[in-house]
Amino acid sequence: MQDVDVLAAAAGLRLRPFAGAEDFPRMVVAANACFAADGLDIIRTVEDMARDYAALRDSDPARDVVMAERGGELVGYARSMHWTQPDGVMLFGQLGFVPPAQRRSGIGRALLAWLEQRQRTVAAAHPRASGFAHHSFVTQGETARAQLLRRAGYAPVRQFLAMVRPDLEAIPDFPLPPGLEVRAVQPEHHRAIWDAHMEALRGVWGFRGPMPGDYETWLTLPTFQPHLWQIAWDTQTGEVAGQVKTFIDAEYNRKFGRQRGWTEFISVGERWRRRGLARALVVRALRAQRDAGMRDSELGVDSENADGASRIYADCGFREVKRNTAYRKPFIL
């Protein structure tokens, strides 16, 4: 592991802790410059950042965020986070932003060294974990970041597809399997829907179980749009069998001049799999988006999903548009 102070000095940086809300305006400018340069359809606002930081469960901004300044100018920042997999392995995620005008000057190396140092400190307080690994999710356009990680010993371990259905016409008809029905979501259904989704995701690669407060936060998220959801119930047992919690991001559509819906948060309980339920719910979700005035839809999926999810989505008209990669670097204390 490279020395943080040496790298920061070589790059002419002052590394300091996060100062709170007063940092958000400059952080937003830096993040948006990165998104534009790396081909991500994301535009953040100060309000977005304030909301997200207030909801953090796996990261303490006072300790897990570092700001990089040069001559009083913010030239980058990074945030560490951590969670434990069901197998006991602790993963340490990272976000890092260096605006394009400041790249290739040593800032990224210094931030990465700070992240790894911070993560090793946190890991030392969890000696019972069965293993530790630095983890980074890199989108297809973040070529400079991918190169930085490879040079630091990270290796690609998984790929994730962004898939788009370019129109919402001629949606295929996949019927619900016998014994299942879709019901309009009522407030008293919310907890059962949440619990069923968490249970269905157990065993999924990279799954992070819910933390205290996650359910309550979920109820307040902008993506919480129950009127669009497609929730299948088992008519005999009264259990949630599968779900697609689609949503429309009106602000995204306004910023990018689109009419796009999102076919996301898809899961089917183990007892109801391989019966065509996912296809049936996805096409219902597409129709709901079309009826709400959308023209296309997007989703993300693990390319190695054990149930062949990408094939299911292709059957529903989705096509791959981007391939993103998870990188990891195991470490021992």
Share of the chain above pLDDT 90, in %: 91
* Domain residue limits, the chain: 4-153, 163-324
Mean pLDDT of the region 116-138? 96
Mean pLDDT of the region 129-141? 96
30 φ, ψ to 5°? -65, -45
pLDDT of residue 23: 98
Mean pLDDT of the region 23-39? 97
186 Cβ contact list (under 8 Å, min separation 6): none
Share of the chain above pLDDT 70, in %: 99
pLDDT of residue 298: 98
Exposed/middle/buried for residue 291 (C-beta within 10 Å: 0-12, 13-18, 19+): exposed
pLDDT of residue 287: 98
Domains 4-153 and 163-324 share a fold: yes
Distance CA 298, CA 313 (A): 10
pLDDT digits (tens, 9 = 90+) for 150-204: 999 999 999 999 999 999 999 999 999 999 999 999 999 999 999 999 999 988 8
Q: Using the 8-state DSSP alphabet, how is residue 221 labeled?
A: S
Q: Which CATH architecture has domain 163-324?
A: 3-Layer(aba) Sandwich (3.40)
209 band by pLDDT with thresholds 50, 70 and 90: confident
pLDDT of residue 12: 96
pLDDT of residue 32: 97
User: Taking a C-beta distance cutoff of 8 angstroms, is the pair 277, 180 a contact?
Assistant: yes
Mean pLDDT of the region 283-300? 98
Whether pLDDT at 2 is above 80: no
pLDDT digits (tens, 9 = 90+) for 213-253: 899 999 999 999 999 999 999 999 999 999 999 999 999 99
1 band by pLDDT with thresholds 50, 70 and 90: low
Write out the DSSP string of 49-108.
Answer: HHHHHHT-SS--HHHHEEEEEETTEEEEEEEEEEEE-TTSEEEEEEEEE--GGG-SSSHH
Mean pLDDT of the region 270-280? 96
∠232-234-240 over CA atoms, to 5°? 55
Q: Which long-range contacts (CB under 8 A, 24 or more apart) does 28-36 make?
A: 29/74, 29/99, 30/74, 30/75, 30/76, 30/77, 30/97, 30/98, 30/99, 31/97, 33/99, 33/100, 33/101, 34/97, 34/98, 34/99, 34/100
pLDDT digits (tens, 9 = 90+) for 46-87: 999 999 999 888 899 999 999 999 999 999 999 999 999 888
In this structure, is the dihedral angle defined by the CA atoms of residues 112, 114, 46 and 213, taken in order, positive or negative? positive
pLDDT digits (tens, 9 = 90+) for 91-111: 999 999 999 999 999 999 999
pLDDT of residue 205: 86
pLDDT of residue 308: 86
Tracing tokens 């606002």 back to the chain, one arrives at 45
pLDDT of residue 203: 81
Q: Which CATH number fits domain 4-153: 3.30.70.1050, 3.40.630.30, 3.10.20.600, 3.30.1360.120?
A: 3.40.630.30
277 band by pLDDT with thresholds 50, 70 and 90: very high
**Mean of pLDDT over the chain:** 95
pTM above 0.75, yes or no: yes
User: Taking a C-beta distance cutoff of 8 angstroms, is the pair 263, 247 a contact?
Assistant: no
